[in-house]
């Protein structure tokens, strides 16, 4: 196994960003002992910022409606990252990520090899998706931390914050 000796050089690595999200999701999971308490608790703080960002229009209706759904989404993403898609396929459950991948597969026929124009710019595609992955994982980490702190406030455990 490859070891990186200088922790300062890997501070911005993909593995570090992934580990921060997984740690935040684990903390969320350990803190939220009764997830059902999150049912019907609105994501009011996020909703306000989304309404402002969308020029005072309500966000898409298919997003999580309450903190419980948001908790399940974050937990599902963490499990997909840790266990991969194979475990979910074996248990016949469908994650949000898996549903998106299936939708994309339906749109593009699989031929076994990439079209020539895709092969010529793999480095650009890699960096584009890597930047996107960094952004998404950073946002998910913030959301997991926010959900944990919000749960503590809702149940009155704000004095016990780590």
Q: What pTM does this model have?
A: 0.65
Q: Cα Rg for the chain, rounded, in angstroms?
A: 19
Q: Would the pLDDT of 12 be above 90?
A: no
- Mean of all residue pLDDT scores within the chain: 76
Average pLDDT over residues 8-16: 79
Per-residue pLDDT reduced to its tens digit, 86-133: 665 666 556 555 655 665 666 655 555 555 555 668 999 999 999 999
- Residue of 148 and 90 predicted with greater confidence: 148
| Among candidate residues 81, 100, 79, 74, the one with its CA nearest the CA of residue 91 | 79
pLDDT for residue 131 = 95
> What pLDDT, in 10s, does the model give residues 41-58?
887 665 455 555 555 554
Q: Closest by alpha carbon to 78, among 149, 128, 117, 24?
A: 24
> Distance between CA atoms of 127 and 109, rounded to whole angstroms?
24
Asked whether the CA dihedral 149, 155, 161, 162 is positive or negative, the reply is: negative
Question: What's the pLDDT band for 162 if we cut at 50, 70, 90?
Answer: very low
DSSP 161: -
- Helix ranges (H only) for 8-66 are 14-31, 44-53
Q: Distance between CA atoms of 151 and 25, rounded to whole angstroms?
A: 13
Question: Residue 28 above 70 pLDDT?
Answer: yes
| Domain positions in the chain | 14-85+124-160
């Amino acid at each position: 196994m490859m070891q990186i000796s200088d922790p300062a050089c890997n501070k911005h690595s993909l593995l570090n960003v992934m580990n921060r999200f997984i740690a935040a999701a684990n903390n969320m999971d350990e803190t939220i002992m009764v997830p059902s308490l999150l049912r019907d608790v609105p994501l009011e703080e996020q909703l306000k910022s989304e309404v402002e960002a969308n020029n005072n229009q309500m966000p898409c209706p298919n997003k999580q409606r309450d903190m419980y759904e948001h908790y399940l989404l974050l937990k599902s993403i963490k499990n997909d990252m840790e266990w991969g898609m194979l475990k979910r396929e074996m248990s016949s459950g469908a994650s949000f990520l898996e549903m998106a991948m299936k939708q994309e597969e339906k749109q593009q026929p699989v031929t076994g090899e990439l079209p020539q124009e895709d092969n010529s710019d793999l480095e650009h595609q890699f960096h584009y998706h890597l930047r996107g992955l960094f952004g998404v994982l950073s946002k998910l980490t913030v959301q997991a931390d926010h959900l944990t702190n919000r749960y503590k406030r809702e149940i009155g455990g704000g004095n016990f914050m780590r």
